[in-house]
Each structure stands twice: as C-alpha cells, then as structure tokens.
Amino acid sequence: MADPNFSTWLTKQQAADRIGVSTKTVETLARDRRIEQARWRRDGRGNEFAVYNPDDVARIASERRPAPSAFVLPAGTNGNGNGHGLVARTEPDAELTPPIAAGLSALAAAVRSLAPNPEKNHQNPENFQKLFLTIPEAAAVSGFSQAYLRRKCQAGWTGAIKDGAWKIRRKDLEAL
C-alpha cells in the first residue's frame, strides 16, 4: 500500500476548526484512535508536525453536528402548490383556529401571571428602603457631613461595617 499524500491532510488547528473543538480535543481524539494522525515534514525538511486524516475529521464533524432534519409544511388547499396561496387566504381554517386560540390564551395568561404586580412590588422606590447605606447616601439621609460619618466609622462605631467600603445600618443612623 502506498503512503498517503500527507500534504492534503489537515493541521491540528484546521482539524479543530472543522470539528468545532479545541486543539486539545483533537489531540485526545487522535490518542483514542478516533482520528488518524501522522507526522509530516513540509517539503521533506524543517520540523515534523502532526497532520490529521481529512476523512476522519469530516466523519467526527458530522457526528458532532448532524444535518438538520427536513422541515416540510403541509400543502394548502388553496393556491398554486408552492405555498403562496396560504398567505392570500382571507378566511381562517376552521379546524386550526380553536387550538391556536386556546394556545394563545394560555400563553397570555402565563405572561400576565409573570408580570410584576405594582401593589406587591418590593423594589418600588416608595416601598423599598435599603438596610445599609453608603457614606454619601447616609449623609444625604441624615444631614451629617460625610467626613463626620467617616470618622465615626473609623472610630469603631457599631452601626457601621466595612464591606469594601463603609456601610452604615439605617436603623443605627436614625438613632444618632
């Protein structure tokens, strides 16, 4: 048997691109003998590098991404056979309308149930108050200066915690 023409074989990166995987996965597939690998030198000189059988690469790629199944629409009773008559129809198909209407009604009900209720919205600015405030927010709420609040935090005030930046508990701020 004659040696195959390795110049037509794929490099590791080309094989990875065609299959849609990383080069490490191509190495694993070759190690598991799912893809034939050979060592080859371009023009018989230079460094050897790995090349991969294009037939094996095509087979693995088709296994990983099978062709989509055919999508066929039923032929309409009106029209010229190419589907254009379905668009021009003015009267609804009596046997299709009730299931479609029922499905749309169920979908609309599901969307309404997921919509936020303004009376129960806890993130509404009127109903929502943060438990911890940053120093600028605490200064705006309390009227104290930011410098005063920062000194109080650094002095070990129990109403403040350090979470990246100082956070002041609203309840303790109102008690000042």
Q: What is the pLDDT of residue 114?
A: 80
- Span 60-83, average pLDDT: 69
Q: What is the pLDDT of residues 1-59, one digit of tens each?
A: 456 788 889 999 999 999 999 999 999 999 999 999 998 888 777 888 899 999 999 99
Whole-Å CA distances, 141 to 58, 118, 133, 152: 67, 25, 9, 16
Q: What percent of the chain has pLDDT over 70?
A: 76
Q: What percent of the chain has pLDDT over 90?
A: 33
Alpha-carbon span 155 to 140, nearest angstrom: 21
- Span 102-118, average pLDDT: 78
In order of their start, the domains of the chain are 6-64 (1.10.1660), 132-175 (3.90.105)
- Kindly report whether the global pTM for this prediction surpasses the value 0.85: no
Q: What is the pLDDT of residue 53?
A: 92
Tokens of residue 83, six digits: 């589907």
Alpha-carbon span 125 to 25, nearest angstrom: 52
Dihedrals phi, psi of 168, to nearest 5 degrees: -115, 130
Q: What is the pLDDT of residues 79-99, one digit of tens each?
A: 555 655 555 455 555 555 677
Alpha-carbon span 110 to 13, nearest angstrom: 47
